[in-house]
Amino acid sequence: MTSKANTVAFQAGERNIFFHILTACNLSCRHCYINTSQHGTTTLPKETMLKWLQLFADPNKKSNVIFLGGEPTMHPDLADGIAKAKELGMAVTVDSNGYLFNNLLEKTSPDLLDYLSFSLDGPDPSVNDPIRGEGVFEVCTTNMGKAVAAGYNVSVIYTVSNLNIEHLHRMIPLLQDIGVKRFFIQVIGLRGNSAKTNAGEQGWQVSPEQWLDVVPRVANQAAEAGIHVTFPKVFLDPNEKFECAGLVTENFFIFPNGRVYRCPLCEDHPIHALEIKNETLVPNQNMKLTEDNFFQLNIEEGCVMNRLLQPDTISYDAQGKPLHRISCCLLKQEILPV
| CATH code: domain of residue 194 | 3.20.20.70
Query: Which of the two residues, 16 and 194, has the higher pLDDT score?
Result: 16
Task: Indicate the range of 99-108, 140-149, 237-246, 260-269 predicted with least confidence.
Answer: 237-246
Which whole number is the average pLDDT over 110-136? 97
**Mean pLDDT across the chain, nearest whole number?**
92
248 within domain boundaries: no
pLDDT of res. 199:
41
SS (H, E, C) the chain: CCCCCEEECCCCCCEEEEEECCCCCCCCCCCCCCCHHHHCCCCCCHHHHHHHHHHCCCCCCCEEEEEECCCHHHCCCHHHHHHHHHHCCCEEEEEECCCCCCCHHHHCCCCCCCEEEEECCCCCHHHHHHHHCCCHHHHHHHHHHHHHHCCCCEEEEEEECCCCHHHHHHHHHHHHHHCCCEEEEEECCCCHHHHCCCHHHHCCCCCHHHHHHHHHHHHHHHHHCCCEEEEECCECCCCCCCCCHHHHCEEEEECCCCEEECCHHHCCCCCCCEEEECCEEEECCCCCCCHHHHCCCCECCECHHHHHHCHHHCCECCCCCECCCECCCCCEEEECCC
Q: What is the pLDDT of residues 228-276, one digit of tens each?
A: 999 999 999 888 899 999 999 999 999 999 999 999 999 999 999 999 9
Phi-psi region of 181 (alpha: psi -120 to 50; beta: other; left: phi over 0): alpha
pTM of the model: 0.94
- pLDDT-wise least confident of 20-29, 193-202, 268-277, 283-292: 193-202
pLDDT given at position 192: 62
- Which pLDDT score, from 0 to 100, does residue 205 have? 83
What does the pLDDT look like over 315-329, one tens digit per residue? 899 999 998 999 999
The answer to whether residue 52 sits within a structural domain is yes
Q: What is the mean pLDDT of the segment spanning 128-142?
A: 97
Q: Does position 200 have pLDDT exceeding 50, yes or no?
A: no
Alpha-carbon gap, residue 4 to 329, rounded angstroms: 20
Under the banding of pLDDT at 50, 70 and 90, the label for residue 144 is very high
Whether residue 1 has pLDDT greater than 60:
no
In this prediction, residue 56 has a pLDDT band, given cuts at 50, 70 and 90, of very high
pLDDT digits (tens, 9 = 90+) for 68-81: 999 999 999 999 99
Q: Is residue 283 situated within a structural domain?
A: no
Identify the pLDDT of residue 293: 94
Binned at pLDDT 50, 70 and 90, residue 11 comes out as: confident
Is residue 173, in this structure, part of any structural domain at all? Answer: yes
Domain ranges, residue 217: 6-240+328-335
Domain assignment present for residue 194? The answer is yes
- The answer to whether residue 259 is domain-embedded is no
Q: Does the residue 273 lie in any domain?
A: no
**Residue 65, in any domain of the structure:** yes
The domain total for the chain is 1
Residue 168 has pLDDT above 80, yes or no: yes
